Amino acid sequence: MNNIKLSQRQEEIIKLVKDNEPITSEQLASKLNLTRAALRPDLAILTMTGILDAKPKVGYIYSQKPSYSAINEYIKNIKVEDIMSKPVVVSESTTVYDAILDLFLHDAGTLFVENNGLLVGATSRKDFLKFAMGGTDMHKVPIGIIMTRMPNIIVVHKEDNAYDAACKIIEHEVDSLPVVDKVMDGNKIDGLKIIGKVSKTNVTKLFVKMGKNL
């Protein structure tokens, strides 16, 4: 039997289930002071690996016969590059008005901002809403004024594990993460170039695919 490395939160969930089984997702969320949405990825992993059993209309119980092998290997072998999609990217000088148009034309939750081909920031729908409430003319203000700047952007690389990327999305409460490559200047990192994105939608599609294949 293969061993699986569980996160601290997953270990806490297992302990709570052992001590309180059967227990519902609502009860687990309350005890951990989290939302049910935040728990879903962890509960999905714990049930698919056989550590927990989900009983309809009853709740979760601890299974004494976890079956890690196939699912564990499947999860570990999925990389970010396998699930990433095309990002919506604008230049730092783009006006807030034009950026909002891009956001809705591409039905995106986050815009990534670059300057001279390098990732310099990101802007979400919440950022645009906050700006609009201020009453400033969005035709004159560049997106660089309202964006979250590097190095405060959480990024992933194409060779990273897709599960770890999903955990970052949940932990940092963002809609998507930029997938980046390092741009080198000799032996020094000159910046990061965005090559894709991993969003909540990408993660959801992955779980649907896993449900069909496993």
| Domains of the chain from N-terminus onward | 8-77 (1.10.10.10), 81-207 (3.10.580.10)
- pLDDT values of the chain reduced to their tens digit, one per residue, 214 residues: 345 577 889 999 999 999 999 999 999 999 999 998 889 888 988 887 778 888 888 899 998 655 555 566 667 788 999 999 999 999 999 999 999 999 999 999 899 999 999 999 999 998 999 898 888 899 999 999 999 999 999 999 999 999 889 889 988 989 999 999 999 888 888 899 999 999 999 988 888 877 665 5
Helix axes 96-105, 125-133, angle to 10 degrees: 140
Q: Give phi and psi for 211, each to the nearest 5.
A: -65, -30
> Beta strands 110-115 and 89-91: pairing type?
parallel
The two tokens of residue 188 are: 């020094």
Q: What per-residue confidence (pLDDT) applies to 188? A: 86
